[in-house]
Structure 1
Amino acid sequence: MTMLGRTAQNLFWLSRYVERAENMARLLEVGYRMSLTSRREGGASEHLMSMMQAAEVDEDFARKERPADVDTVAHFMMFDPDNPSSVYSCLQAARTNARSVRTAITSDMWGAINSAWLEFSQIKPRDVRGAKLMGLLEWVKNSSHQFRGALLGTILRDDGFAFLQAGSFIERADNTARILDMKYFVLLPQSEMVGSDLDTQQWSLILRAASAHRSYRHVYHDRYQPQNIADFLILRPEMPRSLIYCARFIEQNIETLGAFYGRKQVCDDVAGRLRAMVEGTTMDTIFAHGLHEFLTEFIAQNNDVANALAESYNFY
């Protein structure tokens, strides 16, 4: 029996919004920590703006006509209901989608997202500053982990699971590309910083944002080399937030849907092209082409997969 398009859509976006809430927390943590390391006048604001550019919310922020300081940006990224990618908006949307498909998810999954939303909605933004901001960012990540744990530990491995997983990894791939692009596109052109202690510290923050700090050192056993870090976050298949890992997992779940319903869809081919984009290249080729250009193309193709999946399974 074919799942209704509306149900498939709700499951897909439930998972995407939970992942996005976590990813917004990760991006804000990077922007915040980089702003603390800035030694140039205006540098803190630049780092915060680059973080919002990576999240593609800079234009929405600009319309607020507010200064790009830590408190204002943190409020915008965490609590602003006018920002569709704020943690507030993401958790609210995730809960709304979950409520619409209560019979298609487990009670543990519903409990995890409902509790996260209720707890977050009680937080007073004015109380979240400095160390409390970092604590809240960690709470958001942990809440995402709790939902993911409930998903992986309790739900049937059927078409609903495939839609949930496809949503999660499409969102994760998008975020990894944006985190990496944030560093290269905005910070690396300052040639006097390359190889400096500050540069090394910023690369460390990028890895921490992707939960890849310890695993990177385990694989490379060296200082932070930009090409190795890019390789780790793009082409290392054992790294669960790398682009190649996500692309393979996206394709796998879309193929599962095709097998479940007995026929391939347009989205199968689009997912295959995304996977081939990262499997059929090397870091030398990526750098020769331009890392920013590669990441921009990857984000666009990843979006194409999401759109093709929606069209193939009647989300609209």
Structure 2
Amino acid sequence: MLSRTADHLFWMARYTERAENTARMLDANYQLALVPQSDEYAALGWKAMLSISELAGIYAAAHPSMASRDVIAFMSSDRDNLSSIVNCLRAARENARAVRGSITTELWETLNTTWLEAQRMLADGVLERDPGEFFEWVKFRSHLSRGVQLGTMLRDEAFYFMRLGTFLERADNTARILDVKYEMLEQRGGASAQPLAQSLDYYHWAAVLRSVSGFEVYRKVYRDVIVPERVAHLLILCADWPRSLAASLDELGQIIGRVRNARSAQAEAMVARLHADVRAVQVADILRQGLHLWLTEFLARINELGSCISCDFLVPLAPEPTVVQTQSQSQAASQSSSQSQSQIQPHAA
């Protein structure tokens, strides 16, 4: 398969997954904002989400306050935010259009309809009326596109490059969703022993689980109250749950083995080491090191793996400049290159 075709397929799937996970993060914060709490604590949740997505500086430059409606609009429909849901859906559709002959008609129509329907819903004011409705719709359309892939695509290289993009993005975003909570705790100065703070913590962990469709799974697996250690175990180490880091890395290892080429030895070794390290670690070891520190290191390694995959299989990403860029600046540089029509670099660690 031509590397440019593989590149479009990879990013098509990655943008679809990114739109879904952005909707999941927003929905978790939106649901938590409905719980009685101080304005400062509510703003902390939105700030943590922007920070972990590396968009806090861009948001602050355009918005004077941390109002929930402004953050939701910025992350959902802002055309100037290259990581917004609407821009991710547009990019997924444009990458699909570029390789129309490599995907089935059903998959193309699903992605095209998603893009057209998203514009209609936003124009009708769904974010002002009921943001939760829009977030659920984005998740449903992402589920639908993956189902159409599984149900209509031949299990060839095109299929596997789409799956490669899906699980690389999922590993990155699951780690970020989990890290949002600890970013909040760090900014708040650690967990408080006061009953109100403990209650808010419970609702926040429940919102985190619901944001990754893990609330019912948690109840089934642990049959106990929600505690941070078990939430971390589910999202990181539970290989039987498809959104965990361990499960995503297991899929990545298998897929890279199927599409290997003469240059892919480094990517294969990298994913094997990362997978082995995750499977060998214990939750107690992660918490002893510090969950935020461990997740930061994991995100750096996932970003490095993504760059290696691009070099080994796809159209290589534009070289990084000597100065540190924000996420959206990196995305803009990638968009202006001669790579995929709508390619945006993955989240920087």
Please confirm whether the aligned pair reaches a TM-score higher than 0.5, indicating the same fold: yes
SS state of the match for residue 42, structure 1? helix
Q: Could you tell me how far apart the structure 2 residues matched to 1:92 and 1:163 are?
A: 19
From 216, 219, 222, the counterpart of 1:220: 222
Identity of aligned residues (%): 38
1:207 is the counterpart of 2:209 = yes
Name the amino acid aligned to 1:283.
Answer: V
From 145, 155, 158, the counterpart of 1:157: 155
Residues 95-134 of structure 1 mapped to structure 2, 5 A cutoff:
95-124=93-122, 127-129=125-127, 132-134=130-132
CA 232–172 in structure 1, closer or farther in 2 if over 3 Å, else same: same
CA 98–21 in structure 1, closer or farther in 2 if over 3 Å, else same: same
Contact 1:32 1:48 in 2 (8 A): no
Which residue of the partner structure matches residue 293 of structure 1? 293
Please report how far the alpha carbon of residue 212 of structure 1 lies from its aligned counterpart in structure 2 after TM superposition.
0.5
Q: Could you tell me how far apart the structure 1 residues matched to 2:206 and 2:314 are?
A: 42
Contact 1:38 1:44 in 2 (8 A): no
Instruction: Give the TM-score, by structure 1 length.
Output: 0.94
Name the amino acid aligned to 2:308.
Answer: A
Name the amino acid aligned to 2:35.
Answer: T
Which residue of the partner structure matches residue 319 of structure 2? none
Contact 2:168 2:248 in 1 (8 A): yes
SS state of the match for residue 123, structure 1? helix
Q: Could you tell me how far apart the structure 2 residues matched to 1:36 and 1:130 are?
A: 15
Name the amino acid aligned to 1:178.
Answer: R
* 277-286 or 181-190, larger mean C-alpha shift: 181-190
Which residue of the partner structure matches residue 229 of structure 1? 231
1:246 is the counterpart of 2:248 = yes
CA 211–201 in structure 1, closer or farther in 2 if over 3 Å, else same: same
Name the amino acid aligned to 2:301.
Answer: Q
Please report how far the alpha carbon of residue 202 of structure 1 lies from its aligned counterpart in structure 2 after TM superposition.
1.1
Contact 1:29 1:209 in 2 (8 A): yes
Please report how far the alpha carbon of residue 55 of structure 1 lies from its aligned counterpart in structure 2 after TM superposition.
2.0
Residues 1-316 of structure 1 mapped to structure 2, 5 A cutoff:
3-37=1-35, 39-124=37-122, 127-129=125-127, 132-187=130-185, 189-192=190-193, 196-258=198-260, 261=261, 264-316=264-316
Query: Could you report, residue by residue, the CA deviation over 1:278-301 in whole angstroms, capped at 9, with x for unpaired residues?
Result: 012111111111111111111111
Q: Could you tell me how far apart the structure 2 residues matched to 1:193 and 1:100 are?
A: 55
Name the amino acid aligned to 2:273.
Answer: R
Q: Could you tell me how far apart the structure 2 residues matched to 1:314 and 1:143 are?
A: 26
Contact 2:29 2:207 in 1 (8 A): no
CA 240–131 in structure 1, closer or farther in 2 if over 3 Å, else same: farther
Please report how far the alpha carbon of residue 123 of structure 1 lies from its aligned counterpart in structure 2 after TM superposition.
2.8
Query: Could you report, residue by residue, the CA deviation over 1:95-129 in whole angstroms, capped at 9, with x for unpaired residues?
Result: 00000010111111101100000111123457234
Name the amino acid aligned to 2:175.
Answer: A
CA 193–297 in structure 1, closer or farther in 2 if over 3 Å, else same: farther
Contact 2:237 2:279 in 1 (8 A): yes
Instruction: Give the TM-score, by structure 2 length.
Output: 0.85
CA 230–124 in structure 1, closer or farther in 2 if over 3 Å, else same: closer
Which residue of the partner structure matches residue 341 of structure 2? none
Q: Could you tell me how far apart the structure 2 residues matched to 1:180 and 1:279 are?
A: 18
Please report how far the alpha carbon of residue 193 of structure 1 lies from its aligned counterpart in structure 2 after TM superposition.
5.5
The size of the alignment, in residue pairs, is 312
Q: Could you tell me how far apart the structure 2 residues matched to 1:146 and 1:168 are?
A: 14
CA 122–274 in structure 1, closer or farther in 2 if over 3 Å, else same: same
Please report how far the alpha carbon of residue 68 of structure 1 lies from its aligned counterpart in structure 2 after TM superposition.
1.4
* 30-39 or 101-110, larger mean C-alpha shift: 30-39
Alignment RMSD: 1.7
